[in-house]
A and B are shown apart, each in its own frame.
Chain A
Amino acid sequence: GEDVEQSLFLSVREGDSSVINCTYTDSSSTYLYWYKQEPGAGLQLLTYIFSNMDMKQDQRLTVLLNKKDKHLSLRIADTQTGDSAIYFCAEDGGETSGSRLTFGEGTQLTVNP
């Protein structure tokens, strides 16, 4: 997505932490999301953060939001081989485009044993 950018690839060792970064442009977004897509599968909603929050923790997942810099990150603690997938960040349309989601290009996370 041209309005949401992510790095395309990330490779980590099993047990390490993974940090996937995303920048977005629509400052009026209400929520920002992280989705996981395994090969040939659908999009699984992992977590989301309200735009007036700066951090959200959900088990192994930590989302950090820097609204000033329009930067979102997803940290996965103790990364496992089952975490290998493509991770998409997405923003909603906020005041401009309502509830449609705009996705980043996706980050391919590879977890090596």
Chain B
Amino acid sequence: AAGVIQSPRHLIKEKRETATLKCYPIPRHDTVYWYQQGPGQDPQFLISFYEKMQSDKGSIPDRFSAQQFSDYHSELNMSSLELGDSALYFCASSPRQGRTEAFFGQGTRLTVV
């Protein structure tokens, strides 16, 4: 079965650079979530989209922005990167708004040096 696809799997950036992470949800899933997992920590909710509109916002820094496109894929844009942004970034998708079981991608490991 198709899963959530994230790219790239690994990314190394320098401080103050920008990064763009991409997420392709499971087909026919219209809700996308972004989570950040620091080393040895639990995943923290960043932001979610339903039908291309932002549906919820968590602890996402102002330096980050995200959007969902007409084909339902989503991108997380991160600017002015800091060392503390080094983490595993997960995208998840759900079948429809209100159904909360979320299926996660393999994540993008971002390292800021």
Please list the residues of chain A having a beta carbon within 8 angstroms of any beta carbon in chain B.
1, 30-31, 33, 35, 41-45, 48, 88, 92, 97-106
Q: Is the CB of A45 within 8 A of B42?
A: no
Q: In chain B, residues 85-113, which have Cβ atoms closer than 8 Å to a Cβ of chain A? A: 90, 92, 94, 97-107
Q: A30-B100, A48-B101, A98-B55 are in contact. Are A103 and B42 (CB under 8 A)?
A: yes
Given contacts A43-B92, A101-B35, 9 further A-B contacts (CB under 8 A): A31-B100, A41-B107, A42-B106, A45-B101, A97-B56, A98-B55, A100-B56, A100-B58, A101-B43
A111 CB to nearest B CB, Å: 20
| Residue count of chain B within 8 Å CB distance of chain A | 26
CA distance A104 to B31 in the complex (A): 23
- In this complex, the member of B44, B56, B94, B102 whose beta carbon has the largest number of chain A beta carbons within 10 angstroms is B102
CA distance A12 to B100 in the complex (A): 31
Q: Mark B33-49, 1 if CB is under 8 A from A, else 0.
A: 10100000111110010
Q: Is the CB of B45 within 8 A of A100?
A: yes
Cβ contacts A to B, 5 pairs, < 8 Å: A99-B100, A101-B45, A101-B100, A103-B42, A103-B43
Q: Is the CB of B42 within 8 A of A99?
A: no
